[in-house]
Structure formats: structure tokens, C-alpha cells
Structure 1
Amino acid sequence: MSRNKMVAVAAACAAMLLAGCETTDMKMGSAESKTVATGSAAGSATSGASDQLERCPAPLGTVSLIENESAGWYTILRNEYRLPPTANLLRLLIQQSNCFVVVERGAGGMRAMSRERELQQSGEMRGGSNFGKGQMVASDYGLTPEIIFSSRDSGGIGGALGGLIGGGRGRAVAAIGAGTQTREASALLTLIDNRSSVQVAASEGSASKTDFAGFGSLFGVGGAGGLGGYQNTPQGKVITAAFMDAYNQMVRSLRNYRAQSVQGQGLGGGGRLGVDGGAAPSRTYVPGQGGNTMSVAEAQQRLNELGYNVGTPDGGMGPRTASGLRSFQRANGLPATGRLDPATMDALAHR
């Protein structure tokens, strides 16, 4: 085989290897995707949202975004990649999904609200503007984002091809490898209940994309085709895809959400992993103050555990359950009503 034919075959092999890298698509998790946050949201209505974004039939509560501006990843995001806060991106994804109603808690937004209230108090606003107290909506949950960056140089492919082809063409193929870079990002999301400080959900998402800087220089502009458009793709697209992947996974879990329950002492009442020398939960409990919630089935199970035989916990408030409740109430100094009132729930949770 002549040298020219060998060079042609090697060049064709190089093209096949590069095509096999599947560089034209964004990879979000395990699925092929070019997804970025697009479109808009107004209330529960959306326009142009990605069809890969998970959605909810109704909001699960209100949520505020909590961004740690002193974290290392945040410094990289703002200083190196010159990207805006992730809260701007997440607000759009969350509202488009209809899973939460977003409430403003950022420094800029809070200053704007305070400014309007100050103008109201100064008397400069027209009558009926109504910027008085008592209108702000509570934030049920706080969502905290975090990013892990990675940027791998994939020049080995080009170097190997250069060794195969040799000469000037070999140097050209090696240049492709040197300009080939895989950008990766992992995003973490944590959802906290603001009233109890309990972590409700956590998720991780990832995305990657490979850039070919110099692909067109070897095969010409026509040969590069649509690949050339990825040379200037910002890192932001990878981050967006990673956050969408993490958010989608969180929504899937929340659709099947079941609250964690600590048996015995109840949530925050001492736990089941006792510590030698630690204060007993009973020493931090004030009877009759309430604060615990319990279903009828849970109360029936607890009564059975305490020796008040009320039968199979079926969630029905029958005569046997009422009788068991009265016996328990009398034994614990409570009014023997036979009803599952807050004081009885509280006592059942701490016995």
C-alpha cells in the first residue's frame, strides 16, 4: 500500500474515532441531552421549558434559595467563569416545574422590599399602596446548591493518532487531541425544613460535554459540521445540565415522600442510640405542652406497645381504641376523654 493511501486510511480512522466520542450532545446523567434552562415562567404557567424537566401537579410548599457565597465553588463560578449566582438559574427551573413557590430571601430582594416599606412609612407613596406589615409569605423550605467542577484534558487520542500517521498530517491530528477537552460538573442540592431544621431531601446530578478546538482546521469548516458550534460553549451549560439532573432526581424522590419517624421518644426526643452519661429524654420533656402529631394508627400501635391492647392498628377510632385511650389518660393524669387530643399525643410520644 502506498504512503498516500496509508495516510488517507489513517485520517479516516481518526475521523471515526473522533465521531465515536459522541461530542455533539450534552450528557446529563446517563441520558443524552443538550438541555439548558430555557423559556420562562409566570405563576404556574410556563413557556419554552425543557421537556426533560420534571413537573408537579401542585406546589409542595414555598422555598427560598440559600447560596453560600464564601464557598470555594462560588468563587470559581463568579471569578473564573464569570457566571451569575446559581439562584437565578434555580428559580427558573423550580417555578417551571411547579413543585414549589419561590419566595425571595436574597440580600438584594430583601433590600428592595425594605426600601418600599420605608417609602410607605415616609408618607411619599400614594394612598392604598399597602406596603404595611403582615404580608410577607413564609419560606417553608430552604434549598442549598453546591457545585463540584472538573476539566479533563483528553489529548491522548490525538497523540496516539499522530504517532500512527507521522509527518505533517500527524502533527495536525495531534493538535486535535491537544485541543480536546471534556468539561464535567456535579451539582448537589439539599432541601431543609425551615421550621424544624430537618433535612427533607438531598440529591446529586452530573453533566459532561466534550469540546473539539481545532476540529475544523484539519477537515475544513464543512467537515466540522455542527461540532464547531461547541468550541465556544460556556461552562454554564454543563452546570445548568448538572443542576437540572439533580433537581429532577430530587423531584422524583419527593413525589414518593414519606416522613422519617423515630420510634419511642419521637423526633428530637433523645433518639434510639443512647449515649452513656447523656441526659435522659424525660429530663428535657415538659408534659402537656403538646407539639407532637400522631395518626390514630400510630396511637393504636403505641398503646399496644405500652400494654393497652386495642387490637390491630387500623386507623379507626372504635370503642376498643377509645377505651384504651381513657385507660392511658387516667394512668398519666390526663382528662379521660377517650379522644386523641394534643396532650394525649404528646404523652404517648414520650412514654
Structure 2
Amino acid sequence: MQSYRLKSGFRMFGILATTLLAGCAQMQVGGGKNPVGGSAAGSASTGAASKLEHCPRPLGTLAVEENINDPWYAVLTQQYKLPSTVPLIRLMVQQSNCFVVVDRGRAMDSMMGERGLAASGELRGSSHMGHGQMVAADYIVTPSIQFSEHTGGAQGALSAIGGSYGAILGAVAASMKSSEASTTMMLTDTRSGVQVAAAQGSAKNIDFAGGALLGQFGTGGANMGAYSQTPEGKVIAAAFLDAYNQMVQSVRNYAPQRVAGGLGTGGVLAVDGASKQGTGGSYSLADAQRKLAELGLYTSKVDGLPGPGTSHAISTFQQANGLSVTGQLDAATVNALQAR
């Protein structure tokens, strides 16, 4: 009878432990596989995540810049022993073919070193290392991470099991950890400094703490420091994948934000007493319409709203005054109108 109870107990333990393991595997991001992996060369890629958004043609060039002085970076590198997110994000971006990646990291220093050798005359003449060859970054993407960790609730679910089996299963439950990461990506236009897109992504992973019970990660666990080797690394990679996908989905339908009078010329929320001199101040589109009407160039209603009539009047004024003909109320046009 005692032998039967022992066998039954271990059979029950095996069923429950298997159930725990199965539940854990089902909730691992990417089914336990690294969500971001593979390779990319030009527009071709191999091993890209099946859920990664893809574009038929790039939307521009892009550089990835992370702020190593932010608190999240210290958590990433010191607590989780994970490396910079830049290579991970750059691989994902190139695999998607939505942007052409340009290097602005350590390789940039090496490139400038090569150019320094060329300028000093040390390189062969056939090296073709000349001026005007570098490609500008149209956009900068800035990543960040928000961490959240807590212990799973499996301990309470097993509290009713008594005896040695309950103690063993309780230890297993206590070692279960739920990790969650929330990430953000900011996309900024390098020429204007305008933020053109922002996205937030998240992912969650339940695993056994340290990997000791699974024997999957060994005693090194989080110290292995790779996004494909730890639960923390996988969940962060999945959260960035989620954020990037949402950003791509948004920019596919991108429509620029427009401000009456043009961006950076003072806006429509003018502060009382703000100067209208210098490079634009609070000179509004309505002010420009009034001046253009006085000059006989604008005949429509003065409403401060952009339109074809306003654009045509501004273009005519710009052409007559030797300015760049853009049809937009830029700083040079404002100064010229104020001088009349």
C-alpha cells in the first residue's frame, strides 16, 4: 500500500509538474525561440520573425541612438547583463526593409579614422575614399525600456497540497517568475527635429527563475547576456518587435501635422506680449494674409487657414522678392513681409 501511494504521489507530481512546464512553455514569447534573430543583407533577410512588419520599399534612412545615461540602460546592462539594444533593433529594421540603416555608432569612429588616413595621403589612390560619399540619416529612432517583474501566482494554487509533495511543488511554484517589459520607440526627423512617430510595445514571459529547475540556462542564467539565451532577453526583444511593428503600421498612414503659419514660426497659441520681430516671433498666417492683401496679392478671406490661394500669394511674393519659392510662410518670408 505504501509503495502504491508513493507511486501515485510521484505520478501526481509528474502530472502537475508537466502541467506547470507546459503552461510555462505556452506563455514564453516566441514559443521559447528568440523573437528577433536571423540575418539581413541589403533588402534580403533570413530567419526574420514571422510577425515582423515588412515594407515593399524603404521609407528613408535611419540611425538608432540609445541614451546610455537613462536609468533603464543601467537595469538592462547591470541587472540583466544584456548588451546594447542597438544591434537588435538595427537587425529588425533592416529585415523589415522599411528603412535603410546607417551607422552612427562605434563603426562611425572607424570610418572617420579611414577618412583621416585618406586625408593624410596614407591610403592608396585607388581607395576612392573621398568627400561626399556618406549617406545622411533621414530619421533617428530612440529606444527605451520600462521594466516590471513580479512572482507568479502558482504558489497559492498549490497551497492546498499537503505533505512532502506539497513542499516540492511549492518550491517549484515559488521559482516561477513572471517578467514583463514595456518598450517605446521615438522616430525623429533629423532635418527639422520634429517627432514624426512614437510607439509603445509590450511582451510578457513566464519562466522558472534562473533556469535552475529547467536546466535550460544553467547556473549562469541572466549572466549569459544574450537576447536569445535568457527569458529577460527574449521578452525585451519581443517588446521591441511589438513597438516597431506598431510604429511601421502608423508611418504607413503618415500625414504631416500642419500649423498655421508654418512649423516653428510661433504657432497659433501666441503669448501676450511676445515679439513679432526677428525670425518670425508670433507672426501668424492671418498676419501674412493681411499684408499680402494690402500688397494686392491675396484676395480671399483673412482666416488664418492654409489654402491654395494663400500658398499662391506667398509664392508670388517670394518670387518677387528673390526668396526661395516654397509657398510656405518660412522665417525669411516673414521677415520680408514685416519689412514692407
* Shorter-chain TM-score tier: 0.7 to 0.9
Q: 1:342 to 1:14 in 2, by over 3 A?
A: same
2:65 aligned partner, one-letter code: I
Counterpart for residue 20 of structure 2? 18
Counterpart for residue 274 of structure 1? 270
Counting aligned pairs with the same residue, the percent is: 43
Q: Where in structure 2 are the equivalents of 1:1-351 lying within 5 Å? A: 14=16, 18=20, 21=23, 23-27=25-29, 34-106=33-105, 108-154=106-152, 156-161=153-158, 163-212=159-208, 229=216, 233-234=229-230, 235-263=232-260, 265-280=261-276, 284-285=279-280, 304-306=300-302, 325=312, 335=320, 342=325, 344-346=327-329
- Per-residue CA deviations over 1:24-49 (Å, capped at 9, x if unaligned) read 34348xxx885521111111111121
Q: Which runs of 5+ in 2 are unaligned?
A: 222-228, 282-297
8 Å Cα contact 2:25-2:32 kept in structure 1? no
- Per-residue CA deviations over 1:232-282 (Å, capped at 9, x if unaligned) read 55121111111000000000000000000112x2211111222222224x6
8 Å Cα contact 1:152-1:181 kept in structure 2? yes
Distance 1:55 1:329 in 2: 39
8 Å Cα contact 1:211-1:230 kept in structure 2? no
Residue 14 of structure 1 deviates from its aligned partner by 4.6
Distance 1:186 1:329 in 2: 47
Counterpart for residue 287 of structure 2? none
8 Å Cα contact 1:212-1:230 kept in structure 2? no
- Per-residue CA deviations over 1:277-336 (Å, capped at 9, x if unaligned) read 2224x65339xxxxxxxxxxxxxxx964438xxxxx7x7xxxxx69x957x888x69749
Specify the SS of the correspondent of 1:284. coil
8 Å Cα contact 1:62-1:138 kept in structure 2? yes
- Per-residue CA deviations over 1:150-187 (Å, capped at 9, x if unaligned) read 22112x422441x3121111101111111000111111
Q: Which runs of 5+ in 1 are unaligned?
A: 218-226, 287-301, 308-312, 316-320
Q: 1:256 to 1:15 in 2, by over 3 A?
A: same
1:185 aligned partner, one-letter code: A
8 Å Cα contact 1:212-1:228 kept in structure 2? no
- Per-residue CA deviations over 1:206-251 (Å, capped at 9, x if unaligned) read 111111359997xxxxxxxxx7748855121111111000000000
8 Å Cα contact 1:158-1:174 kept in structure 2? yes
Q: 1:131 to 1:333 in 2, by over 3 A?
A: closer
Q: 1:240 to 1:165 in 2, by over 3 A?
A: same
Distance 1:16 1:258 in 2: 51
TM-score scaled by structure 2?
Answer: 0.75
TM-score scaled by structure 1?
Answer: 0.73
Specify the SS of the correspondent of 1:73. helix
Specify the SS of the correspondent of 1:24. helix
1:126 aligned partner, one-letter code: R
Distance 2:165 2:318 in 1: 92
Distance 2:275 2:11 in 1: 78
Q: Alignment RMSD, CA only? A: 3.8
8 Å Cα contact 2:154-2:176 kept in structure 1? no
8 Å Cα contact 1:176-1:213 kept in structure 2? no
- Per-residue CA deviations over 1:134-160 (Å, capped at 9, x if unaligned) read 111111111101011222112x42244
User: Any runs of at least 4 consecutive aligned residues in structure 1 with deviations exceeding 6 A, and if so which?
Assistant: 5-10, 214-217
